[in-house]
Amino acid sequence: GVETLLRIPPSVLKLHNKKEDAWTAINGKVYNITPYLPYHPGGEKELMRVAGRDGTKLFSLTHAWVNVEFMLDACLVGFLVSESYAS
Ligand code: HEM
């Protein structure tokens, strides 16, 4: 539920940059993309380019028509916040 979602600053997002522990932020929401890696139509390598960072720009450049909010709802970890608003 929403009560368990985290406020995640860029410094924490950055730690999740490995295939077996990959997070990305899209439009302010942070998703665990590890379970989706094998299913990404564009391949794992491309998807890993946004691991550990804000992927909003790259995502919208490649497929702005994809509804990531709906698709990855079950993978939602929390919300990207600025460094000073963490914890
Ligand atoms: C295709 C999802 C990130 C590159 C797709 C498609 C989906 C998808 C649903 C099929 C779209 C269609 O056929 O209309 C996602 C999600 C992402 C993500 C949920 C992030 C959470 C990325 C990134 C890149 C990328 C970061 C590249 C830098 C591609 C490419 C295709 C594709 C090249 C086309 C594959 C093909 O048709 O052969 N993605 N994507 N994606 N994606 Fe992603």
* Structural domains of the chain in order of their starting residue, each with its CATH number: 2-85 (3.10.120.10)
32, two tokens: 């665990």
Q: Over 80: is that where the pLDDT of 21 sits?
A: yes
Question: Cβ(59) to ligand 1 under 6 A?
Answer: yes
- Write the pLDDT tens digit of every residue in 37-79: 999 999 999 999 999 999 999 999 999 999 999 999 999 999 9
Residue 75 CB–ligand 1 contact under 6 Å: no
Rounded mean pLDDT of 19-40?
98
CA quadruple 47, 71, 13, 22: dihedral, nearest 10: -50
CA distance 74 to 62: 22
Closest protein CA for atom 29 of ligand 1: 42
Residue 18: pLDDT band (50, 70, 90) is very high
Burial of 45 (0-12, 13-18, 19+ CB in 10 A): exposed
Ligand 1, atom 32: closest residue by C-alpha: 42
